[in-house]
Each structure stands twice: as C-alpha cells, then as structure tokens.
Amino acid sequence: MRVVLVGATGGIGRALARRLAARGDRLFLLGRDATSLARSALDLEAHGAPPPVGVGACDLLEPAGFGPALDRAVAALGGLDAVVVTAGAFGTQEVLEQDAALRARVLAANFAGTIELCEAARLRLLAAGGGTLCVFSSVAGDRARRRVVLYGATKAGLSYYLAGLDARFRRAGLRTVCVKPGFVRTAMTAGLPEPPFAADADAVAARALRAIDRGWPVVHAPAVWRLVLLAIRALPRAALRRLEL
C-alpha cells in the first residue's frame, strides 16, 4: 500500500507508521519540522519500510500548501492508496480559555485546516480510482462536556465532516475511517492527570490499522470507549452538568 502520513513524527502517528513500515508499505511523510521528518524517515526504513521514505513540508495552518505537498508525495510513491492524518493541536479547556492565540491555532488546525487537507486528499484519492482516508478525531467530540468544550468542538465538527464524506463518496470508492481515541500517553498529554481507559500509542495504532485494513468508517480506541460514550450520550443534560467529565 502507498501511504501518505501527516503527523507521523511522534505519538500515535509514529506508532502507526512503524506498523505500516513493518509490513512493507511504501510511505511518504508530511509535516512541519524538516529535521524530525528526516529522522523519522530513517527510523521507518530501519523498521522495514522500502527506501526511500520520502518527506515534505506541510502545515495544517497553511492550506495553500496542501495540494502541492500531496502532489509531490503521489509522484514520489508512484500513486496513492491511503492518506492518514494524525496531526492536530491540543490545549486543556482552562488553557484554551485564557490563551487566545493558542485557541485560534487549535480551532484552525483541528477543524478548518484538517478539513481542507482532507478535501485535497479526497480529490486525489478519487482521481486514482479510490482509496482510504483515515483521520484521527477524538472521543472528546462525541458529547459536549465541561472539560473539553473547545477542543471537543473541533473534533465534533471533524467527525461530522468525516461521516458526511462516508455518506457522499463511499460508493465512488473513498473509504473514510474516523478514529476516535480517548486519552493516549504521548508527549502531547505528558503531565496531565491520567483518566480511566488511558492507552499507549501503539495500542491505538494497532486498532487504527485494523480499521484501515477492514474499512471501518468509525472506530473507538481502545474499544471500551464505544460503550463508555454510549452511556455518556444517554445522560440527561442536567446530569451531565453535575459530572466532572
């Protein structure tokens, strides 16, 4: 499989890229930091990816670069079978309420930027006859909660968009996979209190890869989150106001 990954230099993205590399998939990495991209490419070749693992610049806050970046990746790979987007921005609710600049970056990167990137990927996947678009959303977007108002809103919008893509383009050959992790132990969450059902990045990556291979439109990772969210979605609004969720 020929795969373009956006956000594979750390965390879940790196874990997923290593799993793809180990089975011999051809990879091209897009991201912001040229040094991290080059180091990650060598790491993936050492984990089994056919060399060379290509790299290119791409920033979720600069939509004008999405098309050219994807075109360079497709040319280097000789085609395109899948695009995986794990990149995004994060801040706790308290920090996002106080820091307007960070709030603007999180809202722009996680929602508008990611959707514009997906649109550019959709056009190229459909032009190639179909393929998989796998994007990481979050359980934070499944029900509005007091601890994730702003971050959760970006992920709710992203999940809604991906569900729409699935409805509109599945029959044309676009397999949309929306991955919804809970709390994952990565550099992004370092220092934060660890809630129940926290998971390691590799465990989430393994479940995401299974969803990609099987074409599941939505997957929670770990799986227990699907049941947890069913219960949370069933809570009356009055009950939800009283809970520290």
Q: Which two tokens stand for residue 134?
A: 């796998």
SS (H, E, C) 218-231: EEEECCHHHHHHHH
Three-state SS at 214? helix
Q: Which two tokens stand for residue 227?
A: 């049941």
Q: Catalytic residue at 161? A: no
Neighbours of 237 (CB within 10 A): 7
Distance, CA of 190 to CA of 88 (rounded, Å)? 16
Provide φ and ψ at 56, rounded to 5°.
-160, 160
The single residue of 111, 151, 161, 183 carrying the catalytic annotation is 151
Residues with active-site annotation:
151
